[in-house]
Structure 1
Amino acid sequence: MIFLPLSIMERLTEKEIDTLLQNLEGWTYLEGSITKLFTFKDFKEAFATMTRIAFECEAQNHHPEWENIYSSLTIKLNTHDVGGVTKKDFQLARSIENIVNAN
């Protein structure tokens, strides 16, 4: 079992979320999650990226809600245990950005 510092698991206020979103291009706060739509060249590239993201999600023990339609991938992040967005979601979002930008 992985134990994280309490501060990373504390539910953030909308003001805190808005401040942190300034450092994540294209991510927005919507319906209790931070979310972003990614568009890839084709389905194969989208799915390959999802696979790389899945390994990172397992490493962080934090999993997105996501939807893949052909070359698009929508990712929504929130922390179900606290019923909102935490720094853990932003940590995963930054990791996702690194994976997508590595292509």
Structure 2
Amino acid sequence: MSKPNLLAKDFDFDKTLSEWKVNQGKRELGRTFVFKDFKSAFQFMTLCANFAEKLGHHPDWSNSWNTVSVRLSTHSMGGLTDLDITMAHAMDQFALQILE
């Protein structure tokens, strides 16, 4: 896999990832997903885990019953990269699949 690209300082997170919160100090994206039950949350995490393996980019996350809290950052690059954006978009799509 090629080296990820750091995002431009003026990257428009609000336009690109409106549901995600940006923490510039920690250089990470965060979002909390809430599902109808534990099984749905686990199904979401399984889809994300399989995608993360293919992408070679893994989230920092936690699960408590129906809630999955996610933080994304490319630690090896010391900030947010195109990999984080790709992972965030995929997670948004997986959540939509589960919530439908």
Q: TM-score over 0.5 for the alignment?
A: yes
Q: TM-score range by the shorter chain?
A: 0.7 to 0.9
CA–CA distance in 2 between the matches of 1:21 and 1:90? 12
Aligned with 1:39 (options 29, 34, 38): 34
How many corresponding residue pairs? 96
Q: Which residue is 1:84 aligned to?
A: 79
Query: Which amino acid is 2:6 matched to?
Result: R
Tell me how far 1:12 sits from its aligned partner: 2.4
The more displaced of 23-32 and 62-71 is 23-32
Contact 2:13 2:22 in 1 (8 A): no
Tell me how far 1:69 sits from its aligned partner: 1.1
CA–CA distance in 1 between the matches of 2:69 and 2:14? 17
Tell me how far 1:14 sits from its aligned partner: 4.2
Q: Which residue is 2:16 aligned to?
A: 23
Tell me how far 1:24 sits from its aligned partner: 1.6
Q: CA 1:92 to 1:39, structure 2 compared with 1: closer, same or farther past 3 Å?
A: same
CA–CA distance in 1 between the matches of 2:75 and 2:35? 28
Q: Which residue is 1:73 aligned to?
A: 68
The equivalences for 1:49-68 within 5 A come to 49-68=44-63
State the identity %.
29
Which ranges of 4 or more aligned residues in structure 1 deviate by more than 6 Å?
Answer: none
Aligned with 2:5 (options 4, 10, 16): 10
Contact 2:62 2:69 in 1 (8 A): yes
Relative to the length of structure 2, the TM-score reads 0.86
Task: Indicate the SS of the match to 1:98.
Answer: helix
Query: What residue ranges of structure 2 are gaps of 5+ in the alignment?
Result: none
Is 2:93 the partner of 1:98? yes
